[in-house]
């Protein structure tokens, strides 16, 4: 092998792998990757843009069509396309210098620098037109990304607490077990008492739309309704009913855990439903913005 | 004749074991209660759900007793008469009762066909626990948004431009290319805000002087004979040497086919409502400061002195003798060739 690759190249690669191992041990996430390298680069870039904007006197007034505006616009458009490439890049994982972690770190910090590059490119001239649409879409994409970074940094702990060392499938399995026990325990009940239990069994634990997923509120929950109905019921087999009530409240607790899990996962995922589609809308608006400038040159 | 209750159980290896149990009597009961002849442990089945009887050993009458009924061929019924030779499938809650005939006997096969509960159903873990289960796909959203934006802000405006090619004045109303307006027009041009093509005539061709002189005739001539007579090449040669920024801008202009020396370079538009930004004094000095040398270098005849500033770097005014007619006492600015009334 050594004859196939120059020794120098192999040495560099080994060093890179070693540094990576140290990072793995210290669990260095994409935010603090390489001692905030990309945060520094991005911050420097923003500072450079802001100072040069203040120092350069563009006549008659600052706008995207000045030489300074073109420069920022070209950098911004290039950056947007590169940032979009993360979607492609993340499907190909590598471990060396341009690891996915490094790439993600650069994506986050350079993406944030676009707030300055894009806004200063406009020369603070905004209006109801395709140019401002592109800017607004860019800002929405950045804001949704910022939300994503914040939830990735804070929510996994909540997810882990809620799981209590159970896997997702174990959470579901717990509900299935209560369902089986409920089905057996409810056999002696009268038809009036079995109806709410049956409704609870027929309820899909994953039912509920995006609203229920995000709020964790399920006002039409059949298990809670069954619990209420059976607690108020009289007559019939009271012992069997008490047993069913006990099982229903246990099922309700298991459901609550699963739903809390679904809620945290929804909050971890929802931003991508804004970030990704709006990125493509942004690229479309950006194309229209650039083409329109040259079309009516 | 007798009823035979058939139960089929499946072993772990998938082998089916069939057990037949003869039921006594011509009338049997079916329900969730343990006292029934056929005991169905299904919460969706009533404790005493139905009676199954046969008078002639061939035709079977099924009669629901507590109002819940049963399903036969997609209908919910309370009573049904079935020819066991033809056979039938009835549904009680989550169970299926198949009636068939074998020899002299009526076979009743009872099987659970529904899952015990919704949660018992198989789930695709990756999908069920994720938002993907309740949201439309991101990919579809991405394409839909991109398509809408392209249609509204690229195809629409180009279509508007295409529809009014060669039309002198556009009709009133909304034109899609208005979305391309990069900034409000100056008050002088405000009436053109719906008619981009008044100035932007051809696609990908920078606004030409032709579009300006269609309305503006002789503006420069009224102001200055020298500027009116000067060729574009001379005006270009007169300009001050470009700075770094202007070199960048010239690079963009050259790369994207934007000719130099057009009216709109000094008379800029889309800079905001209100009067068009004046061409400031600095613009005079931009050319006239050190212009003589540049013009000479470009091979033009030079008959004006340099002027860097009206106050501090301007040649002395001197009398001008005109052969034809001089109605007022005037002095000629040697730099700009314009007339100024002498106050002294």
Count of domains observed in chain A: 2
A3 belongs to a structural domain? no
Express each pLDDT in A28-64 by its tens digit.
788 888 889 999 999 999 999 999 998 888 777 788 8
A290 belongs to a structural domain? yes
Q: Is the pLDDT of residue A65 over 90?
A: no
**Which residues 70-89 of A have a C-beta within 8 angstroms of B?**
70-71
Rounded-to-10 torsion of CA A202, A204, A208, A209 = -130
Q: Residue A250: how many CA atoms within 13 Å on its side-chain side? A: 15
Report the C-alpha gap between B291 and A161 in whole angstroms. Answer: 77
B117 with A296: Cβ contact below 8 A: no
CB B160 within 8 Å of CB B177: yes
What is the Cα Rg of chain A in Å? 28
Distance (Å) from the alpha carbon of B30 to chain A's nearest alpha carbon: 14
B43 with A197: Cβ contact below 8 A: yes
Q: Residue A68, Cβ neighbours under 10 Å: how many? A: 23
B185 inside 8 A of chain A by CB: no
Is A79 found in the same domain as A112?
yes
A20 belongs to a structural domain? no
| One-letter-per-residue 3-state SS of A167-223 | CHHHHHHHHHHHHHHHHHHCCCCCHHHHHHHHHHHHCCCCCCCHHHHHHCCCCCCHH
Report the C-alpha gap between A12 and A5 in whole angstroms. Answer: 12
Specify the pLDDT at position B67.
Answer: 76
Distance (Å) from the alpha carbon of A31 to chain B's nearest alpha carbon: 25
Residue B84 CB burial class (10 angstroms; 0-12, 13-18, ≥19): buried
Express each pLDDT in B308-324 by its tens digit.
887 888 888 878 776 66
A12 belongs to a structural domain? no
Specify the pLDDT at position B328.
Answer: 56
What is the Cα Rg of chain B in Å? 48
Report the C-alpha gap between A53 and B45 in whole angstroms. Answer: 78
Is A154 found in the same domain as A90?
no
Is A265 found in the same domain as A118?
no
Q: Which residues of A touch B178 (CB under 8 A)?
A: 129
Is A115 found in the same domain as A149?
no
A130 belongs to a structural domain? no
Q: What is the pLDDT along chain B (344 residues), one digit of tens a residue?
A: 689 999 888 888 888 888 999 998 889 999 998 899 999 999 889 889 999 999 888 899 999 987 789 999 889 999 999 999 999 999 998 999 999 999 889 999 998 888 889 898 889 999 999 999 999 988 999 999 999 999 999 999 999 999 998 888 888 888 999 999 988 899 989 988 888 988 998 999 989 888 888 888 766 665 566 676 777 677 778 877 777 877 877 887 888 888 877 888 878 888 888 888 776 555 677 788 888 888 888 888 887 888 888 788 888 887 877 666 555 555 555 544 444 443 33
- CB neighbour list of residue A200: distance below 8 Å, 6 or more residues apart: A182, A222, A223, A225, A226, A248, A251
Residue where a domain stops, chosen among A80, A95, A125: A125
Is A154 found in the same domain as A193?
yes
B184 with A273: Cβ contact below 8 A: no
Mean pLDDT confidence for A136-154:
96
Domains of chain B: 3-115 (2.60.200.20), 142-180 (no CATH)
Report the C-alpha gap between A121 and A136 in whole angstroms. Answer: 13
Token look-up 């590169």 returns A82
Specify the pLDDT at position A276.
Answer: 94
φ/ψ of B273, rounded to 5, equals -65, 165
Domain that holds residue A171: 141-297
Beta-sheet strand order (sheet of B95-102): B16-23, B3-10, B105-112, B95-102, B88-92, B70-72, B75-77
Is A109 found in the same domain as A157?
no
Q: Please report the number of interchain residue pairs, chain A to chain B, with beta-carbon separation below 8 angstroms.
A: 185
Task: Tell whether omega for the bond before A60 is within 30 degrees of 0, i.e. cis.
Answer: yes
Q: How confident is the model at residue A144 (pLDDT cuts 50, 70, 90)?
A: very high
A282 belongs to a structural domain? yes
Specify the pLDDT at position B341.
Answer: 40
Is A151 found in the same domain as A105?
no
B258 inside 8 A of chain A by CB: yes
Residue B117 CB burial class (10 angstroms; 0-12, 13-18, ≥19): buried
**Interior CA angle at A211 toward A208 and A217, to 5°?**
70
**Which residues 126-145 of B have a C-beta within 8 angstroms of A?**
128-135, 138, 141-145
A131 belongs to a structural domain? no
- CB neighbour list of residue B105: distance below 8 Å, 6 or more residues apart: B1, B2, B3, B4, B22
Is A50 found in the same domain as A158?
no
B151 inside 8 A of chain A by CB: no
Is A256 found in the same domain as A224?
yes
Among chain B residues, CA nearest to A259: B129
A136 belongs to a structural domain? no
Across the interface, of B118, B123, B157, the residue whose CB is closest to A202 is: B118
Is A297 found in the same domain as A195?
yes
Strand partners for B17 = B9
A284 with B149: Cβ contact below 8 A: yes
Is A187 found in the same domain as A98?
no
Residue where a domain stops, chosen among A91, A125, A159: A125
| One-letter-per-residue 3-state SS of chain B | CCEEEEEEEECCCCCEEEEEEEECCCEEEEECCCCCCEECCCCCCCCCCEEEECCCCCEEEEEECCCCCEEECCEEECEEEEECCCCEEEEECCEEEEEEEECCEEEEEEEECCCCCHHHCCCCHHHHCCHHHCCCCHHHHHHHHHHHHHHHHHHHHHHHHHHCCCCCCCCCCCCHHHHHCCCCCCHHHHHHCCCHHHCCCCCCCCCCHHHHHCCCCCHHHHHCHHHHHCCHHHHHHHCCCCCHHHHHHHHHHHHCCCCCCCHHHHCCCCCCCCCCCCCCHHHHHHHHCCHHHHHHHCCCCCCCCCCCECCCECCCCEECCCCCCCCCCEEECCCCCCEEECCC
Residue where a domain stops, chosen among A80, A100, A125: A125
Is A175 found in the same domain as A120?
no
């Amino acid at each position: 092998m050594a004859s196939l690759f120059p020794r120098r190249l192999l040495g560099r690669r080994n060093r890179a792998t070693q540094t990576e191992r140290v990072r793995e041990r210290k669990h260095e996430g994409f935010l603090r990757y390489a001692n905030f390298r990309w945060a520094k680069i991005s911050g420097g870039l923003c500072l450079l843009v802001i100072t040069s904007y203040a120092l350069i006197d563009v006549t008659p007034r600052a706008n995207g069509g000045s030489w300074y505006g073109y420069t920022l616009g070209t950098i911004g458009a290039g950056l947007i396309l590169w940032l979009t490439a993360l979607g492609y890049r993340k499907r190909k994982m590598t471990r060396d210098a341009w690891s996915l972690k490094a790439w993600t770190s650069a994506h986050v910090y350079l993406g944030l620098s676009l707030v300055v590059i894009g806004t200063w490119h406009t020369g603070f001239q905004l209006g109801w037109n395709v140019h401002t649409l592109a800017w607004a879409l860019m800002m929405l994409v950045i804001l949704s990304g910022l939300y994503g970074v914040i939830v990735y940094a804070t929510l996994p702990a909540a997810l882990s607490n809620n799981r209590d060392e159970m896997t997702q499938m174990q959470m579901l399995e717990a509900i299935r077990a209560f369902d089986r026990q409920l089905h057996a325990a409810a056999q002696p009940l009268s038809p009036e008492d079995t109806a709410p239990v049956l409704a609870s069994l027929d309820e899909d634990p994953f039912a509920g739309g995006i609203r229920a997923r995000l709020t964790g509120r399920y006002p039409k929950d059949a298990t809670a309704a069954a619990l209420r109905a059976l607690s108020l019921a009289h007559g019939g087999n009271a012992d069997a009913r008490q047993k069913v009530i006990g099982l229903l409240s246990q099922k309700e607790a298991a459901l609550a855990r699963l739903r809390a899990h679904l809620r945290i996962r929804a909050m971890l995922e929802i931003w991508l439903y804004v970030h990704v589609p709006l990125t493509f809308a942004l690229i479309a608006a950006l194309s229209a913005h650039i083409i329109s400038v040259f079309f009516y040159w | 004749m007798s009823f035979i209750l058939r139960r089929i159980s499946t072993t772990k290896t998938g082998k089916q074991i069939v057990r037949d149990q003869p039921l006594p009597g011509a009338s049997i009961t079916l329900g969730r209660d343990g006292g029934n002849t056929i005991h169905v442990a299904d919460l969706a089945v009533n404790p005493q759900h139905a009676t199954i009887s046969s008078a002639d050993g061939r035709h079977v009458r099924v009669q629901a007793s507590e109002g819940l009924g049963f399903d036969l061929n997609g209908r919910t019924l309370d009573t049904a008469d079935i020819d066991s030779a033809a056979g039938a499938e009835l549904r009680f809650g989550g169970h299926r009762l198949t009636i068939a005939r074998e020899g002299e006997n009526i076979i009743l096969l009872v099987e659970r066909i529904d899952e015990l509960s919704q949660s018992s159903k198989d789930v695709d873990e990756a999908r069920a626990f994720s938002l993907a289960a309740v949201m439309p796909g991101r990919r579809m959203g991405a394409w839909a948004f991109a398509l809408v934006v392209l249609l509204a802000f690229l195809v629409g405006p180009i279509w508007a431009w295409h529809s009014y090619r060669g039309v002198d004045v556009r009709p009133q109303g909304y034109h899609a290319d208005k979305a391309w307006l990069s900034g409000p027009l100056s008050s002088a041009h405000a009436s053109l805000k719906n008619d981009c093509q008044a100035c932007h005539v051809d696609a990908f061709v920078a606004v030409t002087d032709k579009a300006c002189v269609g309305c503006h005739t002789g503006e420069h001539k009224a102001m200055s004979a020298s500027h009116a007579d000067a060729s574009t090449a001379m005006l270009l040669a007169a300009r001050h040497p470009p700075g770094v920024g202007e070199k960048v801008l010239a690079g963009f202009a050259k790369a994207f086919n934007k000719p130099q020396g057009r009216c709109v370079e000094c008379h800029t538009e889309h800079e905001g409502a209100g009067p068009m930004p004046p061409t400031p004094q600095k613009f005079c000095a931009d050319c006239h400061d050190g212009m003589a040398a540049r013009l000479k270098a470009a091979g033009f005849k030079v008959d004006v002195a340099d002027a860097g500033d009206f106050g501090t770097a301007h040649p002395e005014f001197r009398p001008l003798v005109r052969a034809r007619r001089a109605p007022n006492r005037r002095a000629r600015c040697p730099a700009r060739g314009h007339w100024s009334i002498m106050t002294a």
